[in-house]
Structure 1
Amino acid sequence: MNSIKKLFNIEVPIIQGGMVWCSGWRLASAVSNAGGLGLIGAGSMYPEVLREHIQKCRIATSKPFGVNVPLLYPDIEKIMEIIVEEKVEIVFSSAGNPALWTPFLKENNISVVHVIANRKFAEKAEQSGVDAIVAEGFEAGGHNGREETTTLCLVPEICDAVSIPVIAAGGIGSGKAMLAAFALGAEGVQAGSLFAASIESSAHPEFKQAIVQAAEGDTKLSMKSLMPVRLLKNDFYLQVAKAEAEGASRAELIILLGKGRAKKGMFEGDLTEGELEIGQVASYVHDIKPAAQILTEMWQEFILEKERISKLKF
């Protein structure tokens, strides 16, 4: 049996990314009900808001779901306390040292997966006791690795470096991409951008439309000297690009970024001054669909392509 399906007790090895301002209980439950693993994105939630989303998700689905937790979150102790109190069974951690919280989570019978972008952190994550790793390539939306390693290069590198299951992320926008990830050694995939534009996504309708209208080359890795993040190009992105080209310091970039930029863009729909985090596969998205349809289409294409490849003669 596929190790990711077994680990999470799911029907298909497709995980929905726990994206800030997009991944609430409606999206997570829809993906889980369709047979994948839905994740609630805790990074944009106050602790009690997260509790509410967990409780609503449990009402909306009887199937497994998890919570994505950026470990640099300022209220991390309270977040972890709520996760244990609400008996969450799966946590995807990111943006921090997994050794700080993995033992605590494992002691509470929680499966832990950590998101990494290079071999060094993959090895540290395995040493900390995580159950699986998400290898997220340069193509991904949101916060990204400084190394700018593509998924095609990263996944086999990480599969060779660790003995635990690897989930591929970054540029996963189709069943064909999923099959390619499996050929590289992954045993599951995580997709974010496709689900950001789903009907159940909590993103603002204007942001969803911006994703649908995005063309090839409309996203760019930005703020590399601060915290690399892939953004859809808009006026805010151009301001940042200009500041970086002129040699802006970290302090100046922090001032330019300000507070609440991602919320302004992704949740409130300010497409001019907001921070619009999305992956390169945005150019693949042409419709706003139900999450279940997105997952089903990816899985069906994966099966068809797998059969096609098996029949090739060389």
Structure 2
Amino acid sequence: MNRITELFKIKYPVIQAGMIWNSGYKLASAVSNAGGLGIIGAGSMYPEVLQEHIQKCKKATQKPFGVNVPMLYPNVEEIMKIIVDEGVKIVFTSAGNPKTWTSFLKEKGITVVHVVSSSVFALKAEAAGVDAIVAEGFEAGGHNGRDETTTFTLIPMVKEHIKIPLIAAGGIATGRGMLAAMVLGADGVQVGSRFAASVESSAHENFKKTIITVKEGDTQLTLKELAPVRLIKNKFYQDLQELYEKCPTTEELSQFLGRARAKKGMFEGDLIEGELEIGQVAGLIHEIKPAAEILLEIMNDFEDARKEVTKFDF
């Protein structure tokens, strides 16, 4: 056992990221049943939909699972009430001030983890009383930090400042990546893109098939003026770049983005006009597989890499 497996009462220190339009109860329960920590992504769910997914997840697994809550959404109070009422034991918060909800959740006996993109925010989260930190490098898909700090440099920097358990995220899809993160100081890893391309992911098949065709350089971090997001360079992205050439205002960017662009791309499968959020590591993902098989593959690769490291002799 290590600090993460002990904290969450799981077999492997691997957390499946709570990705919007990808992380429903089927994926969360599959990862939990396989020995990791499955996470339901509340960011793409109305409160009543989230409640349904939590209830279905409780029926689909007897193992621990959690819910990721981006705190920027207007119905966050209703979401937190559902989480408490349904007896969820683990909550990952993101996109907001950890002080807002940590005490409330902790008082209910809930383990709280906060996602950060810098050492400064990691310290604030620790001071707020969270149980662990996810430090996410800018290689990650979806909404991201503005500082563009890579995972390779972020993890040891955060480790230097905090005492609570540290989970590395961003650019991790293999056991070798997991080992590298843990050598740098992480106690566990959070994996997003690899599970987005799983059988149980709630993403559209068009999006899953696109993920496994992504190559190096096919994603970009953009829309920093609104909320930085890494996405695939499709027509929507190219049209956005043309707009940037005209030096748009924040209002013009917001109007261009419109509503439900991520849903259109990842959930409805519109590969042309939709927002296709995925990490740089998608270039290493070549097959759509069941979540349990992915997790086992990661752990086997981790063990192989760990044995190889012991052979280095200088």
Please give the TM-score of this superposition, normalised by the length of structure 1.
Answer: 0.99
Aligned to 1:182: 182
Residue 133 of structure 1 deviates from its aligned partner by: 0.3
Residue 52 of structure 1 deviates from its aligned partner by: 0.4
Q: Report matched runs for 1:55-70 at 5 Å.
A: 55-70=55-70
Question: Alignment length, in residue pairs?
Answer: 314
Report Cα offsets for 1:238-266 as digits up to 9, x if no partner: 11122223211110100000000000000
Aligned 8 A contact 1:29 1:60 in 2? yes
Aligned to 1:78: 78
Aligned 8 A contact 1:36 1:295 in 2? yes
Aligned to 1:269: 269
Aligned 8 A contact 1:70 1:94 in 2? yes
Is the aligned partner of 1:295 residue 2:295?
yes
Q: Report matched runs for 1:239-250 at 5 Å.
A: 239-250=239-250
Aligned 8 A contact 1:222 1:240 in 2? no
Q: Report matched runs for 1:32-43 at 5 Å.
A: 32-43=32-43
Aligned 8 A contact 1:98 1:125 in 2? yes
Partner amino acid for 2:76?
A: I
Structure 1 CA distance, aligned partners of 2:279 and 2:104?
A: 32
Structure 2 CA distance, aligned partners of 1:60 and 1:245?
A: 49
Residue 204 of structure 1 deviates from its aligned partner by: 0.2
Aligned to 1:214: 214
Structure 1 CA distance, aligned partners of 2:17 and 2:113?
A: 12
Partner amino acid for 1:196?
A: A
Q: Report matched runs for 1:7-18 at 5 Å.
A: 7-18=7-18
Aligned 8 A contact 1:223 1:244 in 2? no
Report Cα offsets for 1:202-228 as digits up to 9, x if no partner: 000000011011111110001112111
The SS at the match of 2:148 is coil
Q: Report matched runs for 1:150-229 at 5 Å.
A: 150-229=150-229
Aligned to 1:282: 282
The SS at the match of 1:213 is coil
Structure 1 CA distance, aligned partners of 2:268 and 2:112?
A: 31
Partner amino acid for 1:57?
A: C
Is the aligned partner of 1:233 residue 2:233?
yes
Is the aligned partner of 1:116 residue 2:107?
no
Residue 303 of structure 1 deviates from its aligned partner by: 1.0
The SS at the match of 2:40 is strand
Structure 2 CA distance, aligned partners of 1:308 and 1:249?
A: 52
Partner amino acid for 1:301?
A: D
Point out where structure 1 has 5 or more consecutive residues left out of the alignment. Answer: none
Runs of 4+ deviating beyond 2 Å: none
Point out where structure 2 has 5 or more consecutive residues left out of the alignment. Answer: none
Report Cα offsets for 1:264-292 as digits up to 9, x if no partner: 00000000000000000111111110000
Across the aligned residues of Structure 1 and Structure 2, the Cα RMSD in angstroms comes to: 0.7
Structure 2 CA distance, aligned partners of 1:240 and 1:226?
A: 13
Structure 2 CA distance, aligned partners of 1:307 and 1:9?
A: 26
Aligned 8 A contact 1:231 1:277 in 2? yes
Structure 1 CA distance, aligned partners of 2:17 and 2:243?
A: 30
Structure 2 CA distance, aligned partners of 1:89 and 1:241?
A: 42
Please give the TM-score of this superposition, normalised by the length of structure 2.
Answer: 0.99
Structure 1 CA distance, aligned partners of 2:91 and 2:170?
A: 19
Aligned 8 A contact 1:16 1:36 in 2? yes
Q: Report matched runs for 1:140-155 at 5 Å.
A: 140-155=140-155
